[in-house]
Amino acid sequence: MSFRRTLVLGTASVVGVATLILAPAPALAAQPPSAPASGQHDDSLRDLGAKSGLRIGTAVSPAGLADPEYRELIADQFSSVTAENEMKWETLEPVRGQYNWGPADRLVEFAKQNHQLVRGHVLLWQNQLPAWLTQGVADGSIDKDELREILKQHVYNTVGHFKGKIWHWDVVNEAFTDDWETGSAPSGVHPERFWVKHLGPEILSDVFRWAHDADPKAKLYYNDYAIEHIGQKSNALYEWTKQQLAAGVPIHGMGFQTHLSTEYGFPGGFQRNLQRFADLGLDVALTEVDIRTFVDSPETQEPLTPALQQQQEDYWRQTIEACLAVRECVSYTVWGVSDAQSWVPGWFQGMGSALLWDEHLQPKPQYFDVQEVLATTDAEHRTGWGAGRN
Ligand code: XIL
């Protein structure tokens, strides 16, 4: 489960990379007079996003953080960060009772130095759990009561450790059934996923309550994939969220992972879907954006054709446009920086090219697309915590 790709970055000097990345994009030549004067920092995604009060984030790995070029790019381009794996349970507590805060603490410190906010990821999820926990449940040495207590302690310890330093917590991740697996069965909370299977569906509400208790100022999110379109899964999630809010469960935001692929159409009704969740009184966020496509590989023999490239660019534009169009959409996070360290090739055979920078850390056309949309939008300014420039 703990796939890691080696970070392979280009050999260009820091200055060379920065110049390339920060140079005004051709597309920006057409920007209106009100846009910032072109030059250095004003063209970064973070500064362009700040015009609308929108945080632009990325997932960060320790390997990335150790690389000077990559660090500089993250500092320049992004106003929020998410730990790609370092706040997941298997990393935080690999041995029962022994916490490994170091990697996550280093990211939080980096964020502070660079005036970035942190999205905490993740508290309750069925993946990347430590073996001592899953094995203990499987062999019966951890019973239901103990499991609930372990989870509660994990939430209090983790949220408590980072108290005051986390903007958003992804409290519950990927708990709903997918459109394609429901068939004639009703969509809803997945009965077979680890936590609900062992502790029942009410555990989802409990985790929100515990997290809120441990850090009352953090904004608490439900986060999931394949909820971008209006469909069975997002409808079921919408109904569940309404019920939770009516029952007073402290849910403050809805995270749309937005792992898209050119294999499928663009999610139908994405903007309307974001808006209907926002209309429940929630903030919304695009939390893990990447747009994968077929790449030239021995397995598929599919080249990255101009048509696929164009389709990717259209999708990138549409995702940032959908977020900007909904005033409650407060952050837009891409799931990594360079194609060289994206999770996609390891998880989706024959696919890749899912991010905004190539494997040599050079910005791709989709980077300039996102930049242009941010530069030319007349979206309303976001409000609330995080909507400032820094
Ligand atoms: C992925 C990471 O990017 C990989 O490095 C790791 O091996 C597996 O998890 N949904 C999520 C993220 O919520 O935590 C996942 O991140 C991608 C899918």
DSSP letters spanning 123-140: EE-SSS--HHHHHHHHTT
Q: Is the CB of 80 under 6 A from ligand 1?
A: no
Q: pTM of the full predicted structure?
A: 0.89
> What is the position in ligand 1's atom list of the atom closest to the CA of 225?
10
**What is the pLDDT averaged over residues 28-37?**
37
The Cα-based distances of 119 to 104, 135, 308 in angstroms read 11, 29, 31
> What is the position in ligand 1's atom list of the atom closest to the CA of 88?
14
Q: Is the CB of 85 under 6 A from ligand 1?
A: yes
Decide if 257 contacts 176 (C-beta within 8 A).
no
Lowest mean pLDDT among 149-158, 184-193, 221-230: 184-193
Q: Is the CB of 333 under 6 A from ligand 1?
A: no
228 in active site: no
What's residue 379's pLDDT?
Answer: 98
Instruction: Give the mean pLDDT of the chain.
Output: 89
What's residue 298's pLDDT?
Answer: 63
Residue % of the chain over a pLDDT of 70: 87
What's residue 180's pLDDT?
Answer: 87
**What is the pLDDT averaged over residues 284-298?**
90
Q: Is the CB of 257 under 6 A from ligand 1?
A: yes
- Dist. CA 36 → ligand 1 center (Å): 35
For 298-353, give the DSSP string. Answer: TTT-----HHHHHHHHHHHHHHHHHHHHSTTEEEEEES-SBGGG-SHHHHSTTEE-
pLDDT confidence of 304, banded at 50, 70, 90? confident
What's residue 79's pLDDT?
Answer: 98
- Give the separation between CA 188 and CA 232, rounded to whole angstroms: 9
> What is the position in ligand 1's atom list of the atom closest to the CA of 336?
3
- Is the pLDDT assigned to residue 257 strictly greater than 50? yes
Which of 174, 343, 344, 351 for mutating ligand 1's site (highest number of atoms within 8 Å of CB)? Answer: 343
pLDDT confidence of 37, banded at 50, 70, 90? very low
Q: Which residue has the higher pLDDT, 315 or 350?
A: 315
- Dist. CA 260 → ligand 1 center (Å): 14
The helix-helix angle for 306-325 and 270-278 (nearest 10°) equals 20
Q: Which of 78, 43, 42 is nearest to 57 (CA)?
A: 78
- Give the separation between CA 49 and CA 332, rounded to whole angstroms: 9
- Is the pLDDT assigned to residue 300 strictly greater than 70? no
- Is the pLDDT assigned to residue 7 strictly greater than 50? no
**What is the pLDDT averaged over residues 304-311?**
90
Q: Which residue has the higher pLDDT, 349 or 135?
A: 135
Choosing from 69, 288, 328, 372, the catalytic residue is 288
- Dist. CA 70 → ligand 1 center (Å): 19
What's residue 325's pLDDT?
Answer: 98
* pLDDT, tens digit (0-9, with 9 covering 90-100), for 219-232: 999 999 999 999 99
Backbone phi, then psi, for 107, in 5-degree steps?
-70, -40
- Dist. CA 237 → ligand 1 center (Å): 21
What's residue 195's pLDDT?
Answer: 98
Q: Is the CB of 3 under 6 A from ligand 1?
A: yes
- Is the pLDDT assigned to residue 34 strictly greater than 70? no
Helix, strand, coil percentages for the chain (3-state, nearest 5): 45, 15, 40
Residue whose CA lies nearest to ligand 1 atom number 15: 84
> What is the position in ligand 1's atom list of the atom closest to the CA of 125?
13
What's residue 19's pLDDT?
Answer: 31
- Is the pLDDT assigned to residue 8 strictly greater than 60? no
Choosing from 86, 174, 328, 372, the catalytic residue is 174
- Is the pLDDT assigned to residue 2 strictly greater than 90? no
Q: Is the CB of 343 under 6 A from ligand 1?
A: yes
